[in-house]
């Protein structure tokens, strides 16, 4: 699942080499934290959060259980 999050994030940003994904287990399931270059953070979030919400939707559809994707 971490590979999917990384793949989707790298497809959106201008500097894919700067994308880092950390996986942590929380109370409500897995949480993936995506770090990007400061100039790419807005691109990953998108207008009104549409891009990150789309990534979350795709990841949740593939996941078994509760999964969250957060941007750092």
User: Could you read off the pLDDT of 2-61 as tens digits, one per residue?
Assistant: 999 999 999 999 999 999 999 999 888 999 999 999 999 999 999 999 999 999 999 999
Q: How far apart are CA 22 and CA 38, in angstroms?
A: 17
Domain ranges of the chain: 2-71
Measured distance between the N- and C-terminal CA atoms of the chain, rounded to whole angstroms: 18
pLDDT of residue 27: 87
Give the whole-angstrom CA distance, residue 45 versus residue 17: 18
Q: 2-71 is classed in which CATH architecture? A: 2-Layer Sandwich (3.30)
| Alpha helices, DSSP H, located in the chain | 2-12, 41-45, 50-62
| Predicted model pTM | 0.91
Distance CA 29, CA 38 (A): 27
Question: DSSP 3-state assignment of 54?
Answer: helix
């Amino acid at each position: 699942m971490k590979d999917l999050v990384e793949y989707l994030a790298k497809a959106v940003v201008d500097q894919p080499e700067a994308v880092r994904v950390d996986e942590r287990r929380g109370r409500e399931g897995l949480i993936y934290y995506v770090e990007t270059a400061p100039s790419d953070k807005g691109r990953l979030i998108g207008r009104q959060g549409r891009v990150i919400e789309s990534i979350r939707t795709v990841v949740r559809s593939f996941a078994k259980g509760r999964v969250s994707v957060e941007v750092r």
